[in-house]
Each structure stands twice: as structure tokens, then as C-alpha cells.
């Protein structure tokens, strides 16, 4: 067989994983803009880092490579609880920006915090654009005291609504951008669907729902089937252990939840067990299947009326099925699918510790929507 330059390029592309994202959207302004202006840049995954390795590097070593300074504001909630807003590069630096500078609100992943690498790198990218980045820290996470017997969950968007309402009051002239990762991505989809009428109702100009599991119950069940040696199960069991620690830290509040039992909490071996013993009892939901059915993003995506990007990777251990039909039927949503990228990772190039493909793509999407809104106002 004779080799020519084209065949060599194709072979190298296959070897290195070079690809353009597959864009799934309806035919319209947002979908056309995504195809022609945003997803024209090739994704070069870091060589030899496949799904699980991308995720592990993003969750561990990459955290050490990114430094961030935050100033925390504690926000009380109507039920007596509290969550945190971590202002990137301190409030004083943010106050030097114009009143109309966009505010970027970032929601972290399950058992996460504002010092995760993907939160820090997106905040850094947003700050470089002249935006005000602020990371939301859920109830009881990252040193926050749990002030009421109500833990955070993938079903509870009340705190997100409180955070956005507060930001709108603080910066009435500033557009608000919303990005969420993993569990935070599910909260983004649910919040936008609940404010379904338009962007003004949601208070958000543009959003990104990153590495959304879409149906977390299906993901937990698939990962639990890898027991006891699969990497999928390892990821899930690490989350279980962090939840056990979360309950232990906040037991004085959580023991007030009717029916909760510490011995049953420590016997949890997967997230179905944990959600049954903690989230379902806290929210008074019948069982974990009902909990997952209520939180699934599949039912919320068709109701979203705010421009929203869904970047996902096919080798993401937390995704079992993609909402292709739902995204094609909604002219406000765009899903960008790559073969590689892992969960909340999409590390690129020879340096996996630099800006990720997610950072670049989310910023491009937000800038495109902001530019479109600005041109519409001028007209």
C-alpha cells in the first residue's frame, strides 16, 4: 500500500485523537453560530490520556498547577441555611471593573469546591476577558458550616436562585453568565428550565452545562456494576467516602432529618445507597429512583429558553445516554460532543496543565452570545 501525505495526516489524526466536535442543535441562529464561529477549532486531546486518565489528572495533579485567590461571602438562605460565594481575585479587584462588566457564576461538581482545577481555570479565563468570576460553594462544602438540616442536592435550585438574585441586585447593569460542572451542570439545566420563559426570567444571558451526566441514576448503576475492581466503581466509591465525611462533619444538623441513621450511612457502598439514606430523607422523596427521575436533565432541556451550551465527551464515565433529540428540538441549546475528554477535563495539547478545551470553548460561546445580544440591542 502506498502512503501519501493525506493518508499520513489521517493516520496521525487518528493516533492523536484530533477532531472537530460534533455539534447537535436545531437549525437557527444559535446552532448556526456554534457551527461556523465556535466549533471550528480542532480539539487535540493530550496524547495517551484517555477518559479515566483525563479525569484523574484534572481532579488531582492539575489542581496543583492552577493557583487562585478567593474572597468568600457567606449568603444566608430563607430556611436558615447558608452557602458561599467565592469572589475570584478578591472583591476589591472585581470592584475596579466597570459596573457593566459581565458576572461569571461557576457551580462546582459533587463533593467539590472552588479550588478544583476546572473552576479555577474557567475563573482565570473569565477574569482575563474582563468579567467578574465568582464560584458558588454549596451548603457544608469546603469548610462551610451547615446551618440547617438541609444538605445540597442535584434537585435543589433554591440556592442558585438566591445567588443569581443577589448578583442581579449588586450589578443591575451587568449580564450574568452561568457555568456548572457535573452536579452543577444538572443544577444549571434545572434552574434554566424553571425560568423557562426567557433569559430575563432566568436572569442569565448565557449558560454552560459542562459534563452533565443527564441521568445520574443510570450513571451510578452502570458504575456500581463494575464492583469491585473497575475504575468506574472506584470513582463512585471515592464520592461515597467524601459524602460519609460530609455527614460526619455536619452530623449535629443532619441528625435532625427524620429517619436518618449514622450506622446506615457508613454502610453505604454506592451512591444509590447514599442518596437513599441522605438526599431522599432530607427531601422527603420516596426512594432513589424517584429522586433520579425528578433530577434527570432530559426533562428540563426542552424547557430551556436561555442560550445554553452542553459540552460532553463520549468517554465520560458519568454519561450513559445523550439527549440528542431534546437538544435538536430546542433552538436555545447546543451540545458539543467529542470522542475523548473525560469528565470535567478536556485536557489538550502536550501540556495537560494549561487552559483546557472547555475553558476556550465556554469563553467563545459566552462571547458569541454577548455579542449577539449587544448587536440586537443596537438594532
Residue with cell 466509591: 237
**Do 364 and 128 meet the contact criterion of CB atoms below 8 Å apart?**
no
* 365 phi and psi angles, rounded to 5 deg: -65, -45
Q: What is the pTM of this model?
A: 0.92
The arrangement of strands across the sheet holding 206-210 comes to 22-25, 333-338, 308-313, 206-210, 176-181, 103-107, 132-137, 82-88, 70-76
Which helix or strand (DSSP H or E) is residue 208 part of? Answer: strand 206-210
Helices (H), the chain: 5-16, 29-33, 51-59, 61-65, 90-95, 117-128, 158-170, 183-194, 199-202, 216-224, 231-249, 251-254, 262-266, 271-274, 280-283, 288-295, 324-328, 357-378
Rounded Cα–Cα distance for residues 272 and 216 (Å) = 10
Distance CA 131, CA 32 (A): 26
* CATH dotted code for 20-215+296-378: 3.40.50.1820
Give the pLDDT of residue 222: 85
- Full pLDDT tens readout for the chain, 379 residues: 455 655 555 555 555 667 889 999 987 767 777 777 778 888 999 888 877 889 889 988 898 888 889 999 999 999 999 999 999 986 666 678 899 999 999 999 999 999 999 999 999 999 999 999 999 999 999 999 999 999 999 999 999 999 999 999 999 999 999 999 999 999 999 999 998 655 556 789 999 999 999 999 998 988 888 766 677 778 888 999 999 999 999 999 999 999 999 999 999 999 999 999 999 999 999 999 999 999 999 999 999 999 999 999 999 989 989 999 999 999 999 999 999 999 999 999 888 999 999 999 999 999 999 987 645 454 4
Task: Give me the residue spans of the domains in the chain.
Answer: 20-215+296-378, 216-295
Q: What are phi and psi of 74, to 5 degrees?
A: -90, 125
pLDDT of amino acid 70: 94
Contact (Cβ atoms closer than 8 angstroms) between residue 310 and residue 334: yes
Residue 353, Cβ neighbours under 10 Å: how many?
A: 17
Q: Which three cell numbers stand for residue 98?
A: 466597570
Q: Which SS3 state, helix, strand or coil, does residue 27 take?
A: coil
User: CA–CA distance from 120 to each of 75, 110, 238, 311, 354 (Å)?
Assistant: 21, 16, 22, 18, 11
The pLDDT, as a whole number, for residue 1 is 47
Amino acid at each position: 500500500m502506498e502512503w501519501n501525505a493525506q493518508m499520513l495526516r489521517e493516520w496521525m489524526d487518528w493516533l492523536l485523537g484530533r477532531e472537530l466536535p460534533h455539534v447537535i442543535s436545531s437549525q437557527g441562529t444559535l446552532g448556526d453560530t456554534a457551527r461556523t464561529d465556535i466549533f471550528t477549532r480542532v480539539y487535540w486531546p493530550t496524547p495517551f490520556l484517555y477518559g479515566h486518565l483525563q479525569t484523574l489528572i484534572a481532579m488531582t495533579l492539575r489542581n496543583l498547577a492552577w493557583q487562585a485567590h478567593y474572597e468568600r461571602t457567606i449568603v444566608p438562605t430563607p430556611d436558615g441555611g447558608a452557602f458561599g460565594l467565592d469572589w475570584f481575585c478578591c472583591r476589591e479587584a472585581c470592584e475596579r471593573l466597570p459596573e457593566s462588566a459581565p458576572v461569571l457564576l461557576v457551580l462546582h461538581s459533587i463533593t467539590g469546591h472552588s479550588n478544583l482545577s476546572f473552576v479555577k481555570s474557567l475563573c482565570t479565563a473569565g477574569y482575563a476577558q474582563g468579567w467578574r468570576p465568582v464560584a458558588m460553594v454549596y451548603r457544608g462544602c469546603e469548610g462551610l458550616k451547615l446551618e440547617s438540616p438541609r444538605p445540597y442536592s442535584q434537585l435543589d435550585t433554591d440556592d442558585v436562585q438566591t445567588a443569581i438574585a443577589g448578583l442581579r441586585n449588586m450589578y443591575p447593569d451587568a449580564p450574568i453568565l452561568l457555568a456548572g460542572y457535573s452536579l452543577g451542570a444538572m443544577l444549571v439545566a434545572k434552574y434554566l428550565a424553571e425560568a423557562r420563559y426567557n433569559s430575563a426570567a432566568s436572569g442569565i444571558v448565557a449558560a454552560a452545562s459542562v459534563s452533565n451526566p443527564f441521568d445520574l441514576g443510570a450513571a451510578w448503576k452502570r458504575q456500581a456494576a463494575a464492583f469491585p475492581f473497575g475504575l468506574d466503581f472506584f470513582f463512585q466509591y471515592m464520592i461515597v467516602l467524601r459524602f460519609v465525611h460530609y455527614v460526619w462533619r455536619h452530623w449535629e444538623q443532619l441528625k435532625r432529618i427524620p429517619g436518618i441513621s449514622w450506622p446506615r450511612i457508613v454502610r453505604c457502598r454506592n451512591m444509590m445507597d447514599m442518596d437513599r439514606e441522605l438526599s431522599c430523607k432530607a427531601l422527603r422523596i420516596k426512594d432513589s429512583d424517584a429522586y433520579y427521575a425528578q433530577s434527570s436533565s432530559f426533562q428540563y432541556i426542552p424547557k430551556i429558553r436561555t442560550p445554553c451550551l452542553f459540552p460532553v465527551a463520549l468517554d465520560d464515565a458519568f454519561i450513559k445516554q445523550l439527549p440528542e433529540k431534546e437538544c435538536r428540538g430546542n433552538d436555545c441549546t447546543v451540545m458539543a460532543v467529542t470522542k475523548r475528554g473525560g469528565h470535567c477535563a478536556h485536557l489538550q495539547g502536550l501540556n495537560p496543565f494549561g487552559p483546557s478545551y472547555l475553558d476556550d470553548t465556554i469563553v467563545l460561546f459566552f462571547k458569541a452570545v454577548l455579542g449577539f445580544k449587544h448587536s440586537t440591542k443596537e438594532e
